[in-house]
């Protein structure tokens, strides 16, 4: 099985062209096992997710994303940027503007070329969703958007802004550097909190200026990662709603920075660099 490994600001993914019949297992449980096996560090290729290229009747191409635990993700911004580079450079799509079918809906993307290579990708991540049933959450709230919602985790109370970017996010802003936050301890507790029926991604962020925010992320089904595209969008949206950030903001993760643009009404735009790490063949 031929694969490529790509990374976008440290978020790394295994990409496979699954359009040919028989290349991938047909049963969902077998596909989940494949994702778990391939994404394991040390014993597999190692990655934050497995991305499949499939044919689409609605768009230029279809993307499916499986987490390292075998669950399927609705949306993945950095994975989408890797996907665009892969399909263009492998001749699957022959233009730099394309439409992509995802589990979260249609996504538009535009690649920036450096010679024959894709160096940067901007993707439309759709419109943020704020209603409890859209996120979804099991909680009674009187006002949306849900900003600074108090969530008790042990002796710690977090003020979370909760929304969906095609997948659920809970964003907490700190006054101290994010490097000192005990994310490995708090992250899984927020991810699996009962109010989130599908679990949630959890981001902590600190505003450095109106145009720059530092952040770390605990991804649902993955754990802490070096970056998260949909998480960056959730942070930027929450910051703007709380009057912390501008319409354009750079989100700085441990793996690098991405730029998010939101006009407060329409779709959120995510852009940043993307690189191929290596290609190979797996016998899994």
Write out the H or E segment, with its range, that includes residue 234.
helix 229-241
- From 106, 108, 94, 92, select the one nearest 19 (Cα to Cα): 92
Residue 228 appears among annotated catalytic residues = yes
CB contact set of 213 (below 8 Å; sequence gap of 6+): 205, 206, 207, 235, 236, 239, 244, 245, 249, 250, 251, 252
DSSP summary character for residue 100: E
> Could you report how far apart the first and last alpha carbons of the chain are, in Å?
8
Q: Which among 39, 82, 228, 233 is annotated as catalytic? A: 228
Both tokens of 240, joined, read 């703007």
CB contact set of 19 (below 8 Å; sequence gap of 6+): 53, 54, 55, 92
CB atoms within 10 A of CB 74: 16
Q: For 182-225, what is the HEC assignment?
A: CHHHHHHHHHCCCCCCCCCEEEEEEEEECCEEEEEEEECCCEEE
Judge whether 253 and 232 are in contact, CB under 8 Å.
Answer: yes
Q: Which among 39, 76, 82, 233 is annotated as catalytic? A: 76
Residue 82 appears among annotated catalytic residues = no
Active site members? 76, 228
């Amino acid at each position: 099985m031929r694969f490529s490994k790509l990374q976008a600001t440290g978020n790394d993914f295994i990409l496979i062209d699954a359009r040919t019949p028989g290349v991938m297992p047909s049963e969902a449980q077998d596909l989940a096992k494949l994702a778990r096996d391939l994404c394991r560090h040390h014993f597999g290729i190692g990655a934050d997710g497995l991305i499949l290229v499939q044919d689409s009747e609605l768009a230029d191409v279809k993307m499916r994303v499986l987490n390292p635990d075998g669950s399927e993700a609705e949306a993945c911004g950095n994975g989408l940027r890797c996907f665009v580079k892969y399909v263009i450079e492998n001749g699957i799509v022959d233009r730099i503007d394309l439409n992509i079918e995802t589990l979260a809906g249609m996504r538009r993307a535009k690649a920036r070329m450096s010679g024959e290579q894709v160096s940067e990708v901007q993707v439309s991540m759709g419109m943020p969703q704020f209603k409890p049933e859209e996120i979804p959450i099991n909680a009674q709230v009187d006002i949306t958007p849900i900003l600074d919602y108090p969530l008790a985790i042990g002796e710690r109370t977090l003020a979370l802004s909760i929304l969906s970017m095609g997948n659920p996010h809970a964003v907490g802003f700190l006054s101290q550097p994010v490097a000192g936050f005990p994310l490995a301890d708090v992250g899984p507790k927020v991810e699996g909190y009962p109010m989130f029926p599908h679990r949630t991604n959890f981001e902590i962020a600190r505003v450095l200026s109106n145009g720059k925010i530092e952040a770390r992320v605990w991804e649902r089904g993955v754990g802490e990662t070096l970056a998260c595209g949909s998480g960056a969008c959730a942070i930027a949206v929450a910051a703007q709603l709380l009057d912390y950030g501008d319409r354009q903001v750079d989100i700085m993760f441990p793996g690098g920075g991405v730029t998010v643009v939101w006009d407060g009404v329409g779709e959120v735009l995510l852009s940043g660099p993307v690189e191929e790490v290596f290609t190979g063949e797996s016998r899994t």
